[in-house]
Amino acid sequence: MGKTRNFLSKISNRAIFSILALFVVLYGVFSIAIVRKLEDEKFAYRENFAWAVFQIQRQFLEIERYIEYARSDGVVERDELEKVLLEYEIFVSRTLLVKQGEGFQVLAQIPEVGDLLAMLDEKIARIDERIKGVSNATALVEFIREELVSIDDPLQQAVVRTTNFVSVYNASNIASVKSDIEILSYLFFSGMIVMIGLAIFVIRHRQRAFAADIDARRARQEQEVIEEAADYAKMHALGTLAGGVAHEINTPAQYIQNNLEFLSDSFNDFVHALRKDEGDGSVRLELAPERIDFMTEEIPLAIRESIQGLDRIAEIVRGIRKFAHPTTDSVERISIAEEIETAITLTRNQVKHVAELEQSYDTDVTEVEGRRNHLSQALINLIVNASQAIRESGQRSGKIKLNVTSDAENVFIRLRDNGGGVPEDLRDRIFDYFFTTKERGVGTGQGLPICRKLIQDDFNGDLTLSAPDGEGAEFVIRIPKPGIRSTDDDSALNYTATDEFYDIRS
């Protein structure tokens, strides 16, 4: 049954309609042929065989009656002879009708009729010959009577046998017509069944195509809704990170500013302490020794701290630039360490006030295949979610551990926090779109679902929540090692990627 369904599902609509049209044509041709056969048998289904022989017998009796009437006076008058000859001509014509008429050849199969016709041929031939040579009316009428009197019994037998023959012949015709009608009925019902079956198949095929189109439209609409919600959530996320990044940049910028002010003051003191000798043009420094010692010690330190601050700002800017760089559609080798460092850099301000973030790298695998920036996006979501969970739990010594390991086929990035964990009744729903445990207007319910989608679509991996083990929660990102990705999985990546930054509050 399954093979038949698969075969039928591969038949195109054009082939289905071609089969239907061919069946209708064959049905019409066959039906017309049977109808014509029935019309032919309708002409054969008649009693005119017996009627034709009976007409010969009836005309024979008419001739006998006229002959007897003509002989009643002893002498046959001329007008009486003409009446006898007229009846004789009618008798001959009816005999020829049976013998040569169209459709009466079947009567030759009856022995009695065949013998009768042969006898009549001889009788008619002799009578015709005598009519040509005899002018005596009485003698001619007498000769006709003597010739025809001997066919009375054979004619009676022929009538009886013809009647029996017609009964058998018509019964056979009735059976044949009945068989043809049954064939036509079977053909009609089978045709109706086939056409109804084909119509049902075509309708179901159309329904499936229509349903598939509806599903595709619904999927596109859902995707559009998700993308619109993601755009809205993106603005919130950018605002959240922007504040943190601004705070991270503000700290080194502040002490760079303080150091520059110190250097400016020191430079002014140094300039004002310079004294020029008018005689030889030499310059001397009139500055207290302790002030010189202080400046000698502090100025290099201020310069070094300023350089470190600029390096810190440059590091943050590099992280933002790398993260905000447009994502290409191509799958490439990306550095796991760089993606992790970008995520840590951009979330440092979110984490440092509530938890200590520890990272360890326990594998020699440094790269995976995927789309750039999407791993860091997923990690940013997970890190900020972990910091929020620790803050909400009231944990004073918050810890977030980020550990990278691998086995023969996959790289695992585990992120564990010691926050409140995920309630058992919510574990199966946290990856559903628009599901959130946060207050209205705070969470959009897209963070974790989009994280999983990024890992699945862009890295052929998965994002899962580990089974409860102690306090907090542990999320695991699994990504195949380079070269493990299968050909079938590559096909899942052929879509237009967008450089989105999704809401970090799930």
β-strand partners of 280: none
- The C-alpha angle 257, 263, 268, rounded to 5 degrees, equals 125
Q: CA dist 124 to 101, 129, 130, 138, Å?
A: 17, 8, 10, 18
SS3 of residue 200 by DSSP = helix
**What pLDDT does 88 receive?**
85
Q: How many CB atoms lie within 10 A of CB 502?
A: 26
Beta strands in 379-449 (DSSP E): 398-406, 410-417
Q: Are strands 462-465 and 410-417 parallel, antiparallel or unpaired?
A: unpaired
Nearest to 417 by CA among 429, 399, 444, 439: 399
**What pLDDT does 490 receive?**
45
pLDDT band at 153 (very low <50, low <70, confident <90, very high): confident
SS3 of residue 412 by DSSP = strand
Matching CATH number, 13-201, of 1.10.600, 1.10.3470, 1.20.58, 1.20.120: 1.20.120
**Per-residue pLDDT tens for 7-63?**
555 556 667 667 766 777 777 777 777 666 666 555 444 557 777 788 888 888 888
Nearest to 497 by CA among 303, 331, 312: 331
Nearest to 359 by CA among 386, 333, 334: 386
pLDDT band at 322 (very low <50, low <70, confident <90, very high): low
**Per-residue pLDDT tens for 425-450?**
777 777 776 556 655 444 444 567 87
Query: In the sheet that 462-465 helps form, which strands lie side by side, from edge to edge?
Result: 355-361, 398-406, 410-417, 473-480, 462-465
β-strand partners of 358: 401
Q: How many CB atoms lie within 10 A of CB 476?
A: 17
Question: In sequence order, which residues have a C-beta less than 8 Å from that of residue 115 and are 6 or more positions away?
Answer: 154, 158
- The angle that helices 78-100 and 137-148 make with each other, rounded to 10 degrees, is 30
Phi/psi zone of residue 97: left (φ > 0), alpha (ψ -120 to 50 degrees), beta?
alpha
**What pLDDT does 352 receive?**
80
SS3 of residue 408 by DSSP = coil
pLDDT reading at 311 higher than 90: no
Query: Cα(423)–Cα(5) distance, rounded to whole angstroms?
Result: 46
Task: Provide the CA 414 distance to its chain's centre, in angstroms.
Answer: 40
Residue 386 exposed, middle or buried by CB count within 10 Å (0-12, 13-18, 19+): buried
Residues 329-357 have a mean pLDDT of 83
SS3 of residue 160 by DSSP = helix
| CATH architecture of the domain formed by 329-491 | 2-Layer Sandwich (3.30)
**What pLDDT does 413 receive?**
93
For every residue of 84-104, DSSP letters joined together read: HHHHHHHHHHHHHHHHHSTT-
**What pLDDT does 262 receive?**
78
What's this model's pTM, rounded to 2 decimal places?
Answer: 0.46
pLDDT reading at 67 higher than 50: yes
